[in-house]
Structure 1
Amino acid sequence: MDAAEVRRLCLGFPGAYEDFPFGPESSVFKVQATGGKAKMFALCALAGLPLTISLKCEPELARQLRAAHPQINGAWHMNKTHWNSVVLDDGLEDGLVRDLVEDSYDLVVASLPARDRESLAWKGLAGG
Structure 2
Amino acid sequence: MDQKQAREYLLNKPFTVETFPFGDGVSVFKVKHKMFATLALGKDNESDDTDNGICWMNLKCDPQEAIMLRDIFPSVIPGYHMSKVHWNTVKLDGSVPEGEIQRMMDNSFNLVVSNMITKDQESILLHL
Q: What TM-score, normalized to structure 1?
A: 0.87
Distance 1:23 1:4 in 2: 18
Q: Which residue of 1 aligns with 2:81?
A: 77
Matching of residues 2-21 of structure 1 within 5 Å: 2-21=2-21
- Alignment of 1:45 onto 2:40: yes
**Residue-by-residue CA offset, 1:29-76 (whole Å, 9 max, x unaligned):** 0001xxxxx100000115862111000000000000001110001011
Identity of aligned residues (%): 39
Maintained 8 Å contact 1:42/1:104: yes
RMSD of equivalent CA atoms? 1.7
Distance 1:10 1:46 in 2: 16
Matching of residues 107-118 of structure 1 within 5 Å: 107-118=111-122
**Residue-by-residue CA offset, 1:86-124 (whole Å, 9 max, x unaligned):** 01112110000000000000000001000001111258x
Structure 1 residue ranges (4+ consecutive) displaced by more than 4 angstroms after TM superposition: none
Maintained 8 Å contact 1:51/1:87: yes
Maintained 8 Å contact 1:28/1:40: yes
Question: Cα distance 1:106–1:78, how it changes in 2: closer, same or farther (>3 A)?
Answer: same
| Structure 2: segments with no counterpart, 5+ residues | 43-49
| Structure 1: segments with no counterpart, 5+ residues | 33-37
- Alignment of 1:31 onto 2:26: no
Distance 1:4 1:121 in 2: 25
Q: What TM-score, normalized to structure 2?
A: 0.87
